[in-house]
Amino acid sequence: MRSGLVDFHCHLDLYPDHAAAVERCERDGVFTLTVTTTPKAWPRNHEVASATRHVRAALGLHPQLVAERAHEIGLWEELLPRTRYVGEVGLDAGPRFYRSFETQKEIFARVLTLCAAAGNKIVTTHSVRATKAVLDMIEQYMPPPRGRVVLHWFTGTAAEAKRAVDLGCYFSVNAEMLANEKRAAITKALPLDRVLTETDGPFTQTDARPTTPSDVWIAVEGMARLHGTPPADMSATIMRNLKSLLVEQA
């Protein structure tokens, strides 16, 4: 089993056995950021993760759930002082969720404002069909050095990627991004010192089963092929990036 891997965006509480999923990350030595979709889910995630070396729980309010759960932002605010990690948050302008887009922006503005006030948060961010709006809000409410945003499953343009880099963002890359030629080309152009890896499990599949954090090695290998470097070197680069992110926001 390869150790020293990074899965910076995964939903461990959505696997059939949450505790077993956390234990597997710990056993396999995969640094895993387990995101939550509602603040109500965070205390249990934090409890399970806090006994581990490798798993951390992020405090989220998913934009796809804002229509029903915007009222939970008060609980999110109460819990924020207890964690450095925030997510999944952001914006989703897809057809199913566009009707709540203005409310999503209100919630995301509050999230970023409070994270900026705290000054040390790391925010894993959803930006489906909303990259420009997400970047506009980062620039307005939480520019560096007030915190760091990691753009999860980035689907923006090359110009938006450059703007995100200028705003201090990192990017978490999964295997599905690398399987798409256009996405892979944009990913290849990202500064290597801003790249992390992710699975977004269990919402992605590996060998016709839900992807697990240990499968993040596939993204590492894909990044290594993209840059013509040995997988072990790419893995070391990603771990170094994680350490840099954690230190600069300590």
Topology given in CATH for the domain delimited by 5-248: TIM Barrel (3.20.20)
d(CA 138, CA 67): 22
Do the annotations mark residue 18 as ligand-binding?
no
Q: Is 46 annotated as a binding residue?
A: no
Q: Is 152 marked as binding a ligand?
A: yes
Closest CA to 52 of 13, 86, 9, 21: 21
Compute the distance between CA of residue 247 and CA of residue 250 in angstroms, rounded to an integer. 5
Closest Cα to residue 63, out of 54, 73, 51? 73
Q: CA-to-CA distance for 13 and 158, rounded, in angstroms?
A: 33
pLDDT tens, residue order, the chain (250 aa): 477 899 999 999 999 999 999 999 999 999 999 999 999 999 999 999 999 999 999 999 999 999 999 999 999 999 999 999 999 999 999 999 999 999 999 999 999 999 999 999 999 999 999 999 999 999 999 999 899 999 999 999 999 999 999 999 999 999 999 998 999 999 999 999 999 999 999 999 999 999 999 999 999 999 999 999 999 999 999 999 999 999 976 6
Residue 248's pLDDT is 78
pLDDT of residue 155: 95
Domain ranges of the chain: 5-248
The model's pTM is 0.97
Phi, psi of 180 (to 5 degrees): -100, 120
Residues in the chain, overall count: 250
